[in-house]
Structure 1
């Protein structure tokens, strides 16, 4: 039976039927022909053209299988690299995108019988990083392009330099704090009793009236002449002048200490602002912290339930192990919130200036929705940080 003429209803109907994907078992890779049903595939197998292709395949079967396998592998990896980059993705998802093209090379003509065998082969050959989970096999493309490798190395080097600069700044800040503490320590002084070596020696007072600031007080204190009967008055005036001099020196000392403290506070505030700007990110998920599920899309079974983050995927997605059921859920950070423990319990700072530090909860300010914590690790151990927002800390999970 010949083909129907172009434009006839039967011709259009056949074109519509042949437009989409057909069953894999009715496809001949050697002839690159897709049959719509079993009868058509049987007729094709008995055709002369198919028999000639089988004779060519029989002469060098390994050559054809290797070519088909290489073409399928190159196409799969090209799609994985172009569409997903170096992200971790489900292997079957990439395969479904690959076979969505009508004229693709089918897996039944390669050396692999199943997609699992192909994924394992990619892992053994070092072309991808593969791992098996409850949901199936996942693949992650290994980009060996020299430009990409050079770019990654440059980014790693930049991150290391930024980290080194931050550590140096923290050490400098710690030294400034210790120096300020040493300067603010009170100086201990000892006082001894006044003893006259020679009782017959006369006591002489040398009062310099020019350097006294308060002239009215000076006139009042020294109105009377220093006669022998007024020795007691002269001694009192001497004591007053000594007390005034001591108070002036103490005031100067206090002012100097305040100036040092204010300068140190300015340095600390400046460094805090730099750290806050550097460590403030739009993602906060980290492993081993307790979180609460706030999405209602999973039903009442998981709504408002708590769990621990066991894995972070692409910074914004986490695998949460629910405490009550033990089930593992893959959730976006928008569906989670931090958990604030009782006072005295350990927390982890997940965002802000002290991001990544462990701390101890000291005070809870429910009115302003913030807390005060004491840093428990790192070079700033023992520092009290106030005004930390609820969303910047979360309870640390302690295995029972």
Structure 2
């Protein structure tokens, strides 16, 4: 006996469950927005009169329908990407799987794009997303065009630039103060001249009279005591010089703490440095190999190229570590107070796992930085 299953029967419930879930894409008609459960049902639908009328409408203006379907698909995909992931970098296929999990979604086979790769490339060309290809597939990051978001981003960039300018001006001022203090101390130090005898005919005699020697000692002691009493300005001048030196040291320490607080981040990758691969997830082939950071991605990741082979990889900062070269080589500060500056490695303290580096650029050029941790510097390519 044909017809529909009676309400409440197991067959009726099974049909309802099937109708509620996702069905195969090849049995879906976008023009009629009808999903069929099997090949026979889809064949019957394509032969129906309503489907034929929809095909006639599509034939009259095919490009109009494809453009509308393409716009609806792109809008739905981008809305999901913006709402669920914001501007974070995410796998494009993961977003697509979330998008098609909605039973009422518009199917890609009705749009101008044949594959998800074509669609992702289109997003990149149109400037709607930042896209890049990796070993795990295509990744997308939504570009927020909202005026309020753009204004907030510009305000943050302006604030960071102002903070950086203020810090550089402070560093230049401190450096000038240090140089001035060093110059004043050099001027105050006593200058010694070479002793020259006026007459070569002068004879030296040695007197062993103990009484006279004792008397001379008393006279020297009195003379020294008299000098201390009558010339207190020399001691005062020295104390003044020491206090000035202590003040400069305190200013330098305070500035150092401010720089450390401002530049100590939880990310450290920088372009041009050499790193060592410490993860075994890529296999023993790449373990302990060295690579050059070619491009930093979202602060915590980077595209790297092996130093001894033309192989490029995409790695997270947790998969690599800094490389400490031999003394005399050029390094970059990747974290801490001197982050971003370039210097020359002077000494490596293997017992305490730290280094001494001389800064070779910027307003701090010539500064010898001590006790630099291994993870705060890395060799430059």
Q: Hey, what does 2:148 align to over in structure 1?
A: 147
Aligned residue among 261, 276, 286 for 2:260: 276
Does the residue aligned with 1:285 lie in a helix, a strand or coil?
A: coil
**Counterpart-to-counterpart distance in 2, 1:336 and 1:271:** 31
- Over 3 Å counting, the alpha-carbon distance change for 1:273 and 1:7 in structure 2 is same
CA distance in 1, matches of 2:359, 2:124: 43
Give the match for residue 380 of structure 1.
364
Task: Provide Cα deviations, 1:241-277, integer angstroms capped at 9, x if missing partner.
Answer: 8754687444333222211111110111111111111
Paired residues, number = 356
**Corresponding residue of 2:296:** 312
Please give the residue correspondences for 1:209-220 in structure 2 after superposition, counting only pairs within 5 Å: none
1:87-121 per-residue CA deviation (whole Å, 9 max, x = no partner) reads: 34443333233222222101222233333443344
Equivalent residue for 1:341, pick from 325, 329, 353: 325
Runs of 4+ in 1 over 6 A off after TM superposition: 188-192, 235-239
Does the 8 Å CA contact 2:275/2:291 hold for their aligned counterparts? Answer: yes
Quote the Cα distance in structure 1 between the aligned partners of 2:323 and 2:221: 68
3-state DSSP of counterpart to 1:320? strand
Q: CA deviation at 1:29?
A: 0.6
**Structure 2 CA distance, aligned partners of 1:57 and 1:237?**
118
User: Match for residue 94 of structure 2?
Assistant: 93
User: Match for residue 197 of structure 1?
Assistant: none
How do residues 1-400 of structure 1 correspond to structure 2 at under 5 angstroms? 1-131=2-132, 137-187=138-188, 243-244=227-228, 248-397=232-381
Q: TM-score, normalised by structure 2?
A: 0.83
- SS where residue 41 of structure 2 aligns? helix
Separation (CA, whole Å) in 2 of partners of 1:191 and 1:126: 73
Supply the distance in 1 between the matched residues of 2:131 and 2:71 (Cα, whole angstroms): 19
**Structure 1: gaps spanning 5 or more residues:** 193-231
Structure 1 residues 236 and 184, CA, compared in 2 at 3 Å: closer, same or farther? closer
Distance 2:345 2:90 in 1: 39
Distance 2:312 2:190 in 1: 67
Specify every segment of 5 or more residues in structure 2 that has no aligned partner in the other structure, as ranges.
194-215
Q: Relative to 1, partners in 2 of residues 1:174 and 1:58: Cα closer, same or farther, differing over 3 Å?
A: same
The Cα of 1:43 is off from its aligned counterpart by 1.4
Equivalent pair of 2:301/2:316 in contact (CA under 8 Å): yes
- Quick check: 2:134–2:314 contact (8 Å CA) kept in 1? no
TM-score, normalised to structure 1, is 0.80
Instruction: Report the Cα distance in structure 2 between the residues aligned to 1:391 and 1:175, rounded to whole angstroms.
Output: 30
Please identify the structure whose Cα radius of gyration is greater. 1
Report how far residue 352 of structure 1 moved.
0.7
Helix, strand or coil at the partner of 2:269: coil
Shift of 1:10: 2.1
Distance 2:310 2:258 in 1: 41
The structural deviation recorded for 1:279 is: 0.8
CA distance in 1, matches of 2:338, 2:240: 31
Distance 1:111 1:301, change over 3 A: closer
CA distance in 2, matches of 1:303, 1:162: 40
Task: State the shift of 1:69 in Å.
Answer: 1.9
Query: Aligned partners of 2:347 and 2:377: how far apart in 1?
Result: 13
User: Quick one: distance in 2 between partners of 1:251 and 1:285?
Assistant: 52
The answer for the alignment partner of 1:223 in structure 2 is none
Which 10-residue stretch deviates more, 122-131 or 281-290? Answer: 122-131
Larger deviation: 1-10 or 38-47? 1-10
**Alpha-carbon shift at residue 149 of structure 1 (Å):** 1.2
